Amino acid sequence: MPNAPAADQIRLLDVQDIDLRVQQARHRRDHLPVLAQIDELTARVTDLDEARVATATKASDLRRAVQKAEDDVQVVRDRAARDNARLEAGQGTPKDLQALQAELAVLGRRQEALEDVELEAMEALDAAEKEHASAKEQVEAIEAQIATLAAERDAAWKDLDAELATLADERTAAAVGLDAGLVALYEKLRASHGGIGAAALAQGQCLGCRTVLNPGDLRDIEARPADAIVRCEECSRILVRGAAK
């Protein structure tokens, strides 16, 4: 059975206490409420950014549609203007002038239809541009929120990092001179037992797993040398005897 000075075993509980505080500080650092808020807002920005890109593409397509409609209307207008000019000048035979009048009527209907297309395209473009502007404004507003939360996160991280640095110094000081074999066993157990490798034996109870030892086991433990490293039968952690805590 491995041994280690009883005083070292008691001091090991100080190391364990610091390690738990480190573990808790790291957990707080990794699970700050603000981190979930930032993740949620970042996801919203991603969705809105996709909508912004989609509406930008849609608006670009509609601008081309509006331009084409305007060009088509202008072509008809120019043709009608030429026909009107010829009609007013009385150029051509009566039959030619009659044909011009008929063509002007067709061009008028054509122009009206094209202007309807143009108007629809312009209305669709206006709606798409408003959607794009709205998405852009929302993205900018949420990004401002994220920046504020990021500053809050960084401030919290700074405080926790300072706490962790202090704990690291305390841990180093607490572990100085401890029995190497005891520390190695503790580290191995701590890695496989949720961060707790050693616990005090108090009033017949293992404070690591809260198991109350039976009288026979207690008598057996009490009979062992003070420097014997005792393990809890239930959780296998190091049981530290004679600790004040």
| Cα–Cα distance for residue pair 180/2, rounded to 1 Å | 11
| Cα–Cα distance for residue pair 135/22, rounded to 1 Å | 43
Tokens of 12: 């090991």
User: What DSSP element (H or E) covers 207?
Assistant: none
Q: Does 127 map to a domain?
A: yes
Distances (CA, A) of 45 to 36, 38, 138, 151: 14, 10, 8, 18
Q: Is the pTM of this model over 0.85?
A: no
Q: What's the number of domains the chain is made of?
A: 2
- Domain span holding position 70: 32-155
Tokens of 87: 């009609």
Per-residue exposure over 4-15, b if at least 16 CB sit within 10 Å of its own CB, e if not: bebebbbbbbbb
Angle (deg, nearest 10), helices 180-192 and 6-30 = 40
DSSP label at residue 201: E
Q: What is the domain-level CATH number for residue 132?
A: 1.10.287.1490
User: Which domain-ending residue is among 90, 122, 155?
Assistant: 155
Give the model confidence (pLDDT) of 167-217 as tens digits. 999 999 999 999 999 999 999 999 999 999 999 999 999 999 999 999 999
Residue 1 confidence class, pLDDT cut points 50, 70, 90: low
Whether residues 46 and 150 fall in one domain: yes
Let me know: does 142 contact 47? Beta carbons within 8 Å: no
Give the model confidence (pLDDT) of 104-119 as tens digits. 788 788 888 888 888 8
Q: Does 37 map to a domain?
A: yes
Whether residues 126 and 194 fall in one domain: no
Closest C-alpha to 238, from 194, 201, 191, 192: 201
Whether residues 50 and 110 fall in one domain: yes
Q: Does 19 map to a domain?
A: yes
Q: Does 48 map to a domain?
A: yes
Whether residues 39 and 143 fall in one domain: yes
Give the model confidence (pLDDT) of 131-177 as tens digits. 888 888 999 999 999 999 999 999 999 999 999 999 999 999 999 99
Q: Does 1 map to a domain?
A: no
Whether residues 190 and 211 fall in one domain: yes
Q: Does 162 map to a domain?
A: no
> What is 134-193 written as a DSSP string?
HHHHHHHHHHHHHHHHHHHHHHHHHHHHHHHHHHHHHHHHHHTT--HHHHHHHHHHHHHT
At residue 37's C-alpha, the angle toward residues 195 and 45, to 5°, is 135
